[in-house]
Structure 1
């Protein structure tokens, strides 16, 4: 069921078992899994319904309600990060305010995090869970996303493609799958033949969370408001309350932190908003490899190609799933050098890496307020560290040495030239990180906010470290796991 918040009477009270705030992959996945078990779910989204998946309808209200201040590294490359696309010529936008969230521009690149990503290592805190605990949920996520199975090993894919696995000293060959067909936008895609709006989930668009009301260690209500008026000139229309047994924030790493800060919830140890991370991406090519350091069969694996006769052609399955390969430093090299991960992609010249957690890279509240609801806006500061520089210099040197062993060569630009052009690349990670100790994070291993009995957070904001894999597949995985936990809490099978 899909309805508009402005059609809900002023002062109304909606009662539900689970209320999910945010309709991106995290929120919709959790909603789908819960309703399958018979749980009563209300899913609210601040932005409008966009039945054709268009991004344009989100622009005017997003530029008003998501505005604020972005500084630090943003001052160099993306001062308009909070409201604008980082590619001014078009292309990916950083954040969305619409039904479906950022899945509306997701590229579908999927791969689990590596076991080392969950381990404590120099500069990286580790997770309170390990990779083995997520493996069964990764398998369920692969099935939900209609991937070509849950085996991402290069050996398995070399057999499927009739290709060979490259061997570079100090590097693993890693495989990514890409979602096919029309499964990217979670608001529009079908689950068992129906969209989320066609299920029993009560989907309310144009429903902005204003306040998380809590008392005696529990959330007792959510104040929610709708807007009315022409796009870009909206005003507050109605205000209503949602009372839920369990509440899940699934608004993205920036807004999850802002909502907790606005309500002064979960921040007893000044951890909310800290450790904002991403996968920094260089602005254009900054390195190049020369020489035939890969065989034709190895090149085909990296490109996701198979042979048709004597011709290399892109492989895809019946659902349109495709694959490609990357080179990433091994766990042993990451530990030995005290660096994060990265990937290199044959002759691809951009650089993409794992940012180290930094407590001063953070989301806070700005002194300014939005003109619709009068709430404090976002002040986000993105800061890199010396460890990020070490990741770049060490991994590029390692890659150069490995390629030279095979008869090739690698050129790469110095760090200062690369740093000034780095962009966030659409992956917003951290700000409500998972921790066993409340003094070191915001949520526990079950994604429950420390100190509150019924408030949970979903999405990549809970990641203690970024790893190198694109985050959405792990976001979906964690939401499946969270739904299983919440079913137990509300007494559903």
Structure 2
């Protein structure tokens, strides 16, 4: 590794000669939390890693004339549920006041605007049940990697039990009939942005990994069940940008880590992994209502229970937000228990004390999907994205059943709950930044895109990282599980290349 304090060794694709060939053991495409985590773990084990990113090495703004390529390359067609609430989803800022973007195209990816909210998926999320296919792995198999992810993210350990946190905060665990009290940890501010943060004292750019920005994947060349090369291009930085150079990367193993939208698009562009028409299907998210749709009146929690849900401890007689020496904070949520989810045939959701928005687990829907648009981008001439977001009757049942369950539980404790109707809630739902599915994990190639090791079915050396491999969304924010799966993938690839 380079010494701390030396200049960052990030290469720009336009400085790589036209026609050049770069050889490496593992090439990772995409530098968000998935890609950077995998790259860090691999280079630490002595694996030769090349990490490429299509965007620049620092964020621009929607008005920055240097990098308008985000909107040019990400544009396309968004319909279905998007048509009413987010027709510009593919290129929109994450909030309409301007940046950060729903889909970041820069070094560090969406960790640039990640809030750090972390919790493992629940055991039920991995189980097969009506409307939910199950994963080919269990939560128990992921537990050791969740522990490693908690350490990598510098969380306050990997214990998320509410009883543990009630003891830490000097608070009490609420008992709400039909619901579990769940605890979320939030990363400290120094560990949010994966491109700038340090791992064991150095950033990923200071590590042994070869980081190349302004390097857009154009084509995955493959033959006889193997990826034999990646065609990569750079832009010249003009406004509007034009193609500058094109070069090839040859790797023993390739990992796509471009996010759920772009992972699917890249496979479709190269006609890879789609023998059973599964690529792009099951686009999911955690739909979030626009504004307050649930009103809670009356005191149904004690002061000590309220403090647990708010992540507060007592200093004297005053409740104060708790945080540890690394800036980690916590808060609580109410989610329907696994027993209630199975009994009612629904997904999960959040209720957050007196918080009025609704956030829930979307059921997998094969018609909610990504395909290729008929239009092409103006920089590289590649087909753009056509994304269709569709909800299902099971999503309506999740809303109706969980709100009724919450209302009954709160009223039993002396409170009161009012919920808007599903049609009024549905018309204002937004994606909320969590893009999930489209290359889901499955044991059967006819039911998904990657296997339990995240290898694309039918190819020996192509893997996918990120939440596109999730077979269901669960209710936890996806990034912590993305990091967990990337640690597990790096371990698998170390074995493949013979590294310790």
Normalising by structure 1, report the TM-score. 0.98
Partner of 1:403: 410
Look up the SS of the partner of 2:91 in the other structure: coil
Partner of 2:185: 177
Deviation (angstroms), 1:253? 0.1
Check the 8 A contact 1:92/1:426 in 2, yes or no: no
Partner of 1:459: 466
Check the 8 A contact 1:63/1:83 in 2, yes or no: yes
Q: Distance in 2 between matches of 1:83 and 1:159?
A: 45
- Aligned counterparts, 1:108-127, within 5 A: 108-127=116-135
Partner of 1:41: 49
Which stretches of structure 1, 4 residues or longer, exceed 3 Å deviation after superposition? 53-59
1:298/1:91 CA distance change after superposition, 3 Å = farther
Q: List per-residue Cα deviations over 1:46-82 (Å, max 9, x = no partner).
A: 00011xx565558611110000000000001000000
Match 2:97 to one of 89, 92, 111: 89
Check the 8 A contact 2:162/2:173 in 1, yes or no: yes
Q: Distance in 2 between matches of 1:146 and 1:176?
A: 14
Q: Distance in 1 between matches of 2:84 and 2:128?
A: 31
Match 2:150 to one of 131, 138, 142: 142
Paired residues, what number? 490
1:277 and 2:263 correspond: no
Partner of 1:321: 328
Look up the SS of the partner of 1:82 in the other structure: helix
Q: List per-residue Cα deviations over 1:409-444 (Å, max 9, x = no partner).
A: 100000000000000000000000000000000000
Match 2:113 to one of 105, 109, 127: 105
1:237/1:91 CA distance change after superposition, 3 Å = closer
Partner of 1:332: 339
1:70/1:18 CA distance change after superposition, 3 Å = same
- Aligned counterparts, 1:407-422, within 5 A: 407-422=414-429
Partner of 2:362: 355
Q: Distance in 2 between matches of 1:333 and 1:8?
A: 57
1:129/1:352 CA distance change after superposition, 3 Å = same
Check the 8 A contact 1:86/1:423 in 2, yes or no: no
Q: List per-residue Cα deviations over 1:178-223 (Å, max 9, x = no partner).
A: 0003211100111011110001100000000000000110000000
Q: Distance in 2 between matches of 1:243 and 1:55?
A: 33
Q: Distance in 1 between matches of 2:98 and 2:310?
A: 25
Deviation (angstroms), 1:362? 0.2
Match 1:261 to one of 241, 263, 268: 268
Q: Distance in 2 between matches of 1:396 and 1:300?
A: 23
Q: Distance in 2 between matches of 1:170 and 1:424?
A: 27
Look up the SS of the partner of 2:50 in the other structure: strand
Match 1:188 to one of 183, 196, 199: 196
Partner of 1:237: 244
- For structure 1, list consecutive stretches of 5 or more residues without a partner in the other structure: none
Partner of 1:70: 78
1:253/1:410 CA distance change after superposition, 3 Å = same
Match 2:206 to one of 185, 188, 198: 198
Normalising by structure 2, report the TM-score. 0.97
Q: Distance in 2 between matches of 1:92 and 1:61?
A: 15
Check the 8 A contact 1:218/1:454 in 2, yes or no: yes
Of 23-32 and 175-184, the range deviating more from structure 2: 175-184
- Aligned counterparts, 1:420-435, within 5 A: 420-435=427-442
Match 2:384 to one of 377, 385, 393: 377
Partner of 2:254: 247
Partner of 1:208: 216
Q: Distance in 2 between matches of 1:399 and 1:486?
A: 45
1:61/1:107 CA distance change after superposition, 3 Å = same
Partner of 2:141: 133
Look up the SS of the partner of 1:483 in the other structure: helix
Of 248-257 and 184-193, the range deviating more from structure 2: 184-193
1:92/1:234 CA distance change after superposition, 3 Å = closer
1:227/1:54 CA distance change after superposition, 3 Å = closer
Q: Distance in 1 between matches of 2:176 and 2:235?
A: 56
Q: Distance in 1 between matches of 2:197 and 2:371?
A: 34
1:73/1:29 CA distance change after superposition, 3 Å = same
Look up the SS of the partner of 1:17 in the other structure: strand
Look up the SS of the partner of 2:474 in the other structure: coil
RMSD: 1.0
1:413/1:376 CA distance change after superposition, 3 Å = same
Check the 8 A contact 1:209/1:225 in 2, yes or no: yes
- For structure 2, list consecutive stretches of 5 or more residues without a partner in the other structure: 1-8
